Amino acid sequence: MEYDTADDAFLIRACRKGDELAWRTLVERYAQLIYRIPLRCGLSFEQADDVVQNVFVLLIEKLDQLEQPDRVRAWLVTAARWESLRAIRARSHTSEVALLDNEAEQSLDPDLLVITTEQRRLVRQALAMLDPRCSDLLRMLFCHLPTPTYGEIARALSISEGSIGPTRARCLRKLRQILDELGL
């Protein structure tokens, strides 16, 4: 089989068997996508490199636990978001003097910071307005580090694993509706 045209599930199965070409294909396919996520979060190129490396290390560690190999792209995007947030949090724990010396911090547009802060506040407000089932599910999927598996979520919320995807879709629609009403 031509690896460049292979689907993700095939590549994951091959990676689980130790196929280096499948791994390289997977990395080449998603490295740029993952790299853009920390950059959009305001991290430096060096920090973005670290995020990409951490995400692929995490994938190696979780390779055998992926319940939906065909959804590895979504898993990688989620992992990149959480790794980016972790890097941002780590950066925020540095001293104020170090932050002032950081070129990335100095180049942030104050208007953009205000907008981003307001958007985060509205998202938190919208999550609080959801019913508890949706709020809990979305928080587990998008706010916990590391992201729990579907099995862990199912056990924690007392729902079946098969209902997580459809429930997530309904909850995201409800969240989008609330955010629209809040003007975001």
**Measuring CA to CA, how many Å separate 30 from each of 95, 122, 163, 184?**
34, 31, 27, 29
Question: Please, are residues 105 and 49 in contact by the beta-carbon 8 Å criterion?
Answer: no
Q: For 172-184, write each residue's pLDDT tens digit.
A: 999 989 888 887 6
Domains of the chain and CATH, by start = 1-107 (1.10.1740.10), 109-184 (1.10.10.10)
pTM for the full model? 0.51
pLDDT of residue 99: 39
Question: Please, are residues 58 and 79 in contact by the beta-carbon 8 Å criterion?
Answer: yes
Q: For 120-160, write each residue's pLDDT tens digit.
A: 778 888 888 999 889 888 888 877 666 788 888 888 888 99
pLDDT of residue 106: 44
* Cα–Cα distance, 173 to 58 (Å, whole number): 29
Nearest to 147, CA basis, from 90, 91, 66, 92: 66
Q: For 12-69, write each residue's pLDDT tens digit.
A: 999 999 999 999 999 999 999 898 888 887 888 888 899 999 999 999 999 999 889 9
Handedness of CA 50, 51, 56, 60 (dihedral sign): positive
* Cα–Cα distance, 15 to 7 (Å, whole number): 12
Task: Give me the mean pLDDT over the 89-97 stretch.
Answer: 53
